[in-house]
């Protein structure tokens, strides 16, 4: 089973993992706006039973999964509840599923992502562990699927790894859109833009005293709490640098980060002739979600179109790694390898949770990241298999769950 070309009329089957989170709910909006194009076959989420029931009534999937298995679900006729740790993997490889959308967090998403790619399904992912921890595993599968297509028809839109592992993140979607129709040998640099978060203009002293309330106030994007804190520390941008290295197969030295407070330029590519292509848009995740679903086509969207005159001005500046050390720590982890970057992303989960519950100060976040990478990220096996990645994730979380965090 493999995705059909977009000129055929049968709707594409979708499995949506993480359907009630921020990405999941916006994906549902896009799918409902294009109900003639997509048929939702499976929905999975963690705890939000009421929202999952409402989605099931509207979308009529064949299967749903709620990780909180003690909670009862009231489901419409024709929708089954799947239980057990394998439910997500089973959904990802369903015969009539063509695209698996991954809106869940955590290293647990790696198994369904790999299973989907191996079964010839397209994956559209907003899950950072997919690439930060599992980039070496996932991109090998995406390249294999693309190679199979290229052998038949090199002009097939699916003859590129990015068509199999489609980024939903706005920055990576932007770079992907800039690269369509270009040769990789023509790419000089990737430029990831960062809003800079709520503390971009604050002094080191003000940042050190940052509270969760202030950090949660993101200037441009409406996102979940975890990613909002990550954008305040720039850890989010550091993780995106690692993802970019895997998605676009470029060296770390060729990936720049530029602070762009307006979040209008979502990212850019500099080519060897000095030409720079950027993708611009309003800060609305429904745009990159929809592009990942409809590639290589574009369809009308309910997101507001960008008005350049209204935007009026766009500012850019270099990031300050002294005030925001997470960016440097992430680059170093990425250069060390997948074990180090897996330790980094697990540590970031713990660090953000502890900052939010008041057991770690704001600068404790980068301190914990660096300590975790030093303690768990070094070693010869920098391309671990899934079992090793899951084990490492658990070790890092356990080691830093409580207690003081010393500077590395």
Q: Where on the chain is the footprint of Mg ion (CB under 5 A)? A: 169, 171
DSSP class of residue 252 equals G
Beta bridge partners of 66: 45
C-alpha dist (Å) from residue 380 to 134, 337, 361: 16, 9, 33
Both tokens of 105, joined, read 């967090």
Helix or strand or coil: residue 163?
Answer: helix
**Which CB, 41 or 218, lies closer to Mg ion?**
218
- Nearer CB in complex with Mg ion: 169/370: 169
Shortest distance, position 13 Cβ to Mg ion, whole Å:
27
Smallest distance from Mg ion to CB 60, Å: 32
Q: What is the DSSP letter of 8?
A: S
Q: For Mg ion, give the closer residue by CB, 39 or 228.
A: 228
> What is the number of the residue whose Cβ is closest to Mg ion?
169
Cross-strand pairs, 323: none
Q: How far is the CB of 221 from Mg ion (least distance, A)?
A: 8
Question: If you ran DSSP here, which 8-state letter would residue 186 be given?
Answer: G
Q: Which is nearer to Mg ion, 220 or 294 (CB)?
A: 220
Smallest distance from Mg ion to CB 174, Å = 9
Cα–Cα distance, 346 to 324 (Å, whole number): 19
Preceding peptide of 296 cis, ω within 30°: yes
CB of 77: closest distance to Mg ion in angstroms?
39
* Pick 82 or 221: Cβ nearer Mg ion: 221
Nearest distance, CB of residue 163 and Mg ion, angstroms: 20
Report the residue number, 141 or 171, with the smaller CB distance to Mg ion.
171
Q: How far is the CB of 237 from Mg ion (least distance, A)?
A: 8
* Closest approach of Mg ion to the CB of residue 73, in Å: 32
Cβ nearer to Mg ion, comparing 171 with 284? 171
3-state secondary structure of 205: helix
Tell me what percent of the chain is helix, strand and coil, each rounded to the nearest 5: 45, 15, 40
Burial state string for 356-375 with b = 16 or more CB within 10 A and e = fewer than 16: eeeebebbbbbbbbbbbbee
Cβ proximity of 346 and 128 under 8 Å: no
Count of helix runs (H) and strand runs (E) in the chain = 18, 11
CB nearer to Mg ion: give 12 or 365: 365
The CA distance from 143 to 140, in Å, is: 5
Q: Which two tokens stand for residue 44?
A: 């999975």
Shortest spacing between CB 240 and Mg ion, in angstroms: 6
Distances (CA, A) of 29 to 9, 22, 59, 60, 103: 21, 11, 11, 15, 14
Residue (169 or 349) nearer to Mg ion, CB: 169
């Amino acid at each position: 089973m493999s995705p059909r070309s977009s000129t055929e009329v049968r709707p594409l089957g979708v499995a949506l993992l993480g359907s009630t989170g921020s990405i999941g709910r916006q994906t549902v909006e896009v799918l409902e706006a294009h109900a003639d194009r997509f048929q939702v076959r499976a929905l999975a989420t963690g705890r939000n039973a009421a929202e999952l029931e409402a989605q099931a009534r509207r979308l009529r999937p064949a299967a749903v999964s709620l990780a909180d298995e003690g909670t009862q679900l009231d489901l419409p006729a024709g929708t089954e509840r799947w239980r057990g740790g394998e439910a997500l993997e089973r959904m990802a490889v369903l015969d009539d599923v063509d695209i698996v959308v991954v809106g869940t967090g955590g290293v647990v998403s790696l198994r369904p992502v790999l299973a989907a790619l191996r079964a010839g399904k397209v994956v559209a992912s907003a899950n950072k562990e997919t690439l930060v921890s599992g980039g070496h595993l996932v991109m090998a599968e995406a390249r294999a699927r693309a190679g199979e297509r290229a052998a038949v028809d090199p002009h097939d839109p699916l003859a590129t790894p990015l068509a199999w592992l489609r980024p939903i993140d706005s920055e990576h979607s932007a770079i992907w859109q800039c690269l369509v129709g270009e040769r990789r040998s023509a790419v000089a640099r990737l430029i990831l833009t960062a809003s800079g978060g709520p503390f971009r203009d604050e002094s080191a002293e003000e940042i050190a005293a940052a509270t969760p309330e202030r950090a949660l106030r993101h200037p441009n994007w409406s996102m979940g709490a975890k990613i909002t804190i990550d954008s305040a520390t720039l850890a989010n941008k550091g993780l995106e640098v690692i993802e970019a290295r895997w998605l676009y197969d470029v060296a770390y030295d060729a990936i720049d980060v530029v602070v762009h407070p307006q979040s209008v330029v979502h990212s850019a590519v500099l080519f060897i002739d000095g030409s720079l292509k950027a993708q611009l848009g309003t800060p609305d995740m429904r745009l990159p979600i929809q592009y990942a679903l409809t590639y290589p086509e574009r369809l009308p969207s309910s997101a507001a179109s960008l008005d350049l005159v209204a935007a009026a001005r766009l500012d850019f500046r270099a990031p300050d790694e002294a005030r925001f050390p997470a960016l440097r720590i992430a680059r170093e982890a990425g250069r060390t390898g997948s074990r180090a970057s897996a330790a980094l992303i697990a540590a970031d989960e713990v660090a953000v949770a502890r900052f939010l519950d008041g057991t770690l100060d704001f600068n404790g976040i980068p301190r914990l990241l660096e300590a975790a990478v030093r303690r768990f990220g070094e070693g010869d096996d920098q391309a671990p298999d899934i079992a090793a990645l899951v084990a490492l994730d658990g070790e890092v979380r356990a080691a830093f769950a409580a207690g003081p965090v010393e500077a590395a």
